[in-house]
Structures are given as structure tokens and as C-alpha cells.
Amino acid sequence: MDAALKALAEPRRREILRLVWSRELPATDIADHFAEVTRSAISQHLSVLKEAALVSERRDGTRRLYRANADTMNELRTFLDDYWTSGLERLRDVAEADEARKRQKKGRH
């Protein structure tokens, strides 16, 4: 999970994931979307995404085709949903405890 989160910290990698979310694309088409970035840099970004299992790679002759890895993306979503939900629950518990303390304090005066 850490590798996936670190990979997603880079905006270009998130954009690459958007490009290959619902369709398989060759590396050259992906690179064409980033005029200001070298093909070598895009290749590095794809390697990071692949190592984090966020994209899968398929060879077709000399071409490399990339697509988002739905299984990993679902695991990541579940992790983030759980993390967010548990964080909100902790915040709620703290707020409720603080409110209870305030009521108790008012009741003493």
C-alpha cells in the first residue's frame, strides 16, 4: 500500500492513471499527452506505477501497453475509505467527549 500511495503523490502519475483507467494505451500515446516531459521521464513514471501494481503492462510485439490495475485500485480505495471513516469516527468521539465535559462543567456551576 505504501508504494501505491507514494506513486500517487506525483501529479503526472495520477494523470497517467486517468489516461489508462478505462482503456489500454501504448507508452508512446501516454507520452504524447505530456509535451513538456521527455519520453524517458514518462517511462520512469510508468515503471514506478508498475512496481506499485497500479498499472499492468502487456507486450504486443515491440509495443508496451498499459492499463490501470483495477484490483490494486480497489484495494487502495478500500484502504482510503477505511482510513477516512476511522478518522472521522475518532474526530466524532473527541468532539462528543469534549461536549460531555462541557455539560458536566456547566452542571457543577
What's the per-residue H, E or C state across the chain? Answer: CHHHHHHHCCHHHHHHHHHCCCCCEEHHHHHHCCCCCCHHHHHHHHHHHHHCCCEEEEEECCEEEEEECHHHHHHHHHHHHHHHHHHHHHHHHHHHHHHHHHHHHHHHC
Domain definitions of the chain by residue range: 2-69
CATH of 2-69, one of 1.10.1610.10, 3.50.50.60, 1.10.10.60, 1.10.10.10: 1.10.10.10
pLDDT of residue 52: 96
Q: Tens digits of per-residue pLDDT, 5-47?
A: 999 999 999 999 999 999 999 999 999 999 999 999 999 999 9
Average pLDDT of the segment spanning 56-69: 95
pLDDT of residue 37: 93
pLDDT of residue 87: 67
- Average pLDDT taken over every residue of the chain: 89
State the pLDDT confidence band at 2, using cuts at 50, 70 and 90. Answer: confident
